[in-house]
Amino acid sequence: MTNAVHDAERIRERKDAERTRRRKDTERTREQQDTEQIWEPSSADPPVLVLGATGRTGRRVVARLRDAGRTVRAASRSAETPFDWTDRATWAAAVDGMRALYLVAPADPEPIADFVAEARAAGVRRFVVLSGRGVHRYGMALEPSMAEAERAVREADVDWTLIRPNSFSQNFADDLYAAPLRAGLLTLPVGAVAEPFVDVEDVAEVTVALLTEEGHTHRTYELSGPRALTFAEVAAEISAVSGRPTRFEAVTAEQYVADLIAGGMPEKDARSLACVHVFLSEGHNSEPTTDVRYILGREPRDFSEYVKSVAAAGIWA
């Protein structure tokens, strides 16, 4: 216990030192960055709008902001502040009075640029955009909304930061992966590629830092876990911890599509998922990054920690 306390203290000291260094760097370069750094908070606690506030990352961002005592407006179709990308009448009330915004793109990229322009006109200056690692490679082909969200904020006169996470550890608790794992066999068209899965809790903590701290203007961060694992290694680890025998088997993209369609998924969605996994199989995102450590001053959560917590909840039982 004593060692754990000391480790925590050292982590906090490193984090404080890193934040102090970044603040000093920002102060030294402020005059040169006047044309780029337009973030001008009107108070010590600029209000934050979180889109997708009931979603996987959004609800965690809202909770962390509120735990920190920040003023936050949670917005989605089912949140306390109604917001619907397809109903532009809901936009004005959502962005009114806000100065910072967490943007989770909708499925349809069409309204994104107009929304960014409206939010900018309403006074929003800081945009943190959830994207995906590799979007600069596949862009409009696989994730058109993420690519469009990146483009829209880059071309707007705003203080933007992009986060591009690897695949989430939490994907293995979703039915797309969890149901096959419970059945004993996970099949995907990913071959033997390794992926440094990132925990959504780390993504949320990074997002809060980017929304509330200085020094991240016009930067792109790629967020990963500390180590890369193959899907076979993931299945073996889940099996060992959960006590339920399960394994991974690589299949072709066409076989994967056929399996999904047989399970009731529309063909268009099945082919889209197959394309995403085929991209993963090419290994572009396999190398772990250091961006979580740079921003938070600590190592990202290891996949093993996630597996233990989920197994204890009986997800794979």
The predicted structure's pLDDT at residue 193: 97
Identify any residues that bridge with 82 across adjacent strands, giving them in sequence order.
76
Give domain limits for the chain. Answer: 2-166+200-224+287-300, 167-199+225-286+301-317
Going from the first residue of the chain to its last (317 residues), give the mean pLDDT of each consecutive group of 10, the final group possibly shorter.
Answer: 37 48 46 41 73 97 97 95 97 97 97 98 97 88 93 97 97 92 97 98 98 96 98 97 96 98 96 95 97 98 96 91
> Contact, 72 vs 50, CB < 8 A?
yes
Q: How many residues does the chain have?
A: 317
Tell me, what's the pLDDT at 175? Answer: 81
Q: What is the pTM of this model?
A: 0.85
Residue 129 CB partners (closer than 8 Å, separation 6+)? 103, 105, 149, 150, 153, 160, 161, 162, 163
Strand pairing report for 48-51 and 81-82: unpaired
Q: What CA–CA distance (Å, rounded) separates 69 from 96?
A: 20
> 232 is written with which tokens?
């076979």
CB contact at 8 A, 20 and 214: no
CATH number given to 2-166+200-224+287-300: 3.40.50.720
Q: Give CATH superfamily name and number for 167-199+225-286+301-317.
A: UDP-galactose 4-epimerase, domain 1 (3.90.25.10)
Residue 127: exposure state from Cβ atoms within 10 A (0-12, 13-18, ≥19): buried
Question: In this predicted structure, what is the pLDDT of residue 18?
Answer: 53
